[in-house]
Amino acid sequence: MNNKAVIAMSGGVDSSVAAYLMKQRGFDCIGVTMKLFANEDIGISREHSCCSLDDVEDARSVAYSLDMPYYVFNFSDRFETDVIDRFINAYENGITPNPCIDCNRYLKFDKLYMRAKELDRDYVVTGHYARVEKDGNGRFLLKKALDDTKDQSYVLYCLTQEQLSHTIFPLGEMRKSQAREIAESQGFINARKADSQDICFVQNGSYADFIEQYTGKNYPDGDFLDKDGNVIGRHKGVIRYTVGQRKGLGISAPEPLYVKAVNPVSNTVTLSYNDWLYSSIVKAGDINLISVPEIKGEMRVKAKVRYRHTEQWATVTQNGDTITAVFDEPQRAVTCGQALVLYDGDTVVGGGTIIEVE
């Protein structure tokens, strides 16, 4: 392999420090910002978007300070079909998506990786907090970051062996505070820039408002049901609810009520008390395994069912392109559409999209 790398630069401090570290290692680097959407098309002001003009200029400023060529690649068509459309379709079907995983899977480590190959660049470098290592059998491993408060391995479980062999995460061995110190020492314009919001294309956190504005659709009111199917109120459109949600229900009850299920076919949302939200068996499809080529028999792992979930002990089995995890203790508000990610210590075994919860 050559020592030429493409640095995915969002305009934030992490990717800027990643670029600096790669230059320090002697790599021949070019900086790239992916243009994923036009702000006006999705109703976002530039101050709230990771694809804003300000962010592009911040990335360009850092690249030039590092004497590094810089380009903006327009990947908006792919982002629309593989991230935004999937995001909307999920909510319309009563599923809770994770667009950051889709962006990594289809944009950063697919579309950008292919462009890097066209440019004769062997590595894609990002500011993710994770690590890539090689085991004694020549298999590439995805591992947690040293800073467990910033670890992003969960949203990277889709990376294949080929992609991992061409990926570098320079921040995996450091803490966020160290990254900011490096940025300040180099005089980067974004050294104290705040971290971007979770969903870059959704303004003010109102994903339902975004969906209505983007699609031009009106999602009709429907019935709230209790666990026995009795009507107990009216909801404001199925896209506004996800499993485990408590806020915004507007239903009076002796105990707090939570969303247990969303059924877009009947246009109903089922509510229950907290005790009914727990599940022990979780099935995931569209799987990607990293540390092993397949799971044979039963495997003891720790597993996460969403990004902020504390991993829990489970026994996992594989059946073709699906895996089933049986948790030692029931887990709360497991949601279809989120990722089930498996860990062996600090190593990612693999994961998949949750398709069934028992």
Q: Residues 79-128: pLDDT tens digits?
A: 999 999 999 999 999 999 999 999 999 999 999 999 999 999 999 999 99
Per the domain annotation, does 219 fall within a domain? no
Number of CB atoms found within 10 A of residue 146's CB: 17
- Report if residue 312 sits inside a domain: yes
Split into its structural domains, the chain has a count of 3
Instruction: Write out the catalytic residue numbers.
Output: 103, 200
Q: What is the total residue count of the chain? A: 358
Do both 73 and 123 map to the same domain?
Answer: yes
User: Percent of the chain having pLDDT more than 70?
Assistant: 95
Using one digit for the tens of pLDDT, what is the confidence trace for 194-227? 887 668 888 777 899 999 999 999 999 999 999 9
CA distance 1 to 166: 9
Query: Is residue 175 helix, strand or coil?
Result: coil
Based on the fold, state whether residues 249 and 186 are members of the same structural domain.
no
Which token pair is 272?
Answer: 């229950």
Q: Is 127 annotated as a binding residue?
A: yes
Burial group, residue 131, by CB count within 10 angstroms (0-12, 13-18, 19+):
buried
Binding residue per annotation — 269?
Answer: no
Burial of 248: CB neighbours in 10 Å, binned 0-12, 13-18, 19+ = exposed
Q: How far apart are CA 209 and CA 186, in angstroms?
A: 40
Give the domain range for residue 320.
Answer: 278-357
pTM: 0.93
Q: Does 10 appear as a known binding residue?
A: yes
12 annotated to bind ligand: yes
Same domain, 44 and 190: yes
Closest CA to 6 of 27, 35, 29, 24: 29
Give a yes or no: residue 187 inside a domain.
Answer: yes
Which stretch of 87-91, 186-190, 293-297, 313-317 has the lowest confidence by average pLDDT? 186-190
- In the chain, DSSP finds a helix count (H) and a strand count (E) of 9, 17
pLDDT at residue 233 in the model: 96
Q: Are residues 287 and 318 in the same domain?
A: yes
Same domain, 264 and 282: no
